[in-house]
Amino acid sequence: MADITIHAAYASVVEDDEDGFLFIGFAQGEEEDEPYALFRQPLTGGPVWFAVNDEDFGAEDAVQGITRDAKGLTITIRPEHVASFGWAATVAIRIGPQTEDADQALAALHDMFGESFPL
């Protein structure tokens, strides 16, 4: 069982050319206070910043690994970054057939993490 679980209703992929970042997000709802997970990487490549529910609960190069199963994704946080996530070592993102734009977001995560992201 994960330390944090997000039941994603929405997924998104946004390229912000002005700031030079690619954002991939999974949100439980449309309101600002609803749970979410966000991956951010410079458009030129480089380290991935990952956050959950608030920018204060995030860190660069925090993702140790990602596993994928029929329920969605489980992100394992590097041990040296768990304090940045409120001592959470794993984050589950539950993705179902109702999750809007999930396929697009999963494909973008594969591009972001390369072969370390399970198809």
Are 94 and 5 spatial neighbours (Cβ–Cβ below 8 Å)?
Answer: yes
Question: Which pair of structure tokens corresponds to residue 107?
Answer: 């494909």
Find the mean pLDDT for residues 60-76.
96
User: pLDDT tens digits for 11-67?
Assistant: 999 999 898 999 999 999 988 889 999 999 999 999 999 999 988 899 999 999 999
Euclidean distance between the first and final Cα of the chain, in Å? 22
The confidence band for 90, taking pLDDT boundaries of 50, 70 and 90, is very high
Domain positions in the chain: 4-116
Question: Which pair of structure tokens corresponds to residue 93?
Answer: 């993102």
User: Would you say residue 115 has pLDDT above 90?
Assistant: no
**Arithmetic mean of pLDDT over the chain:** 94
Q: What is the pTM of this model?
A: 0.94
Q: How far is CA 25 from the centre of its chain?
A: 6
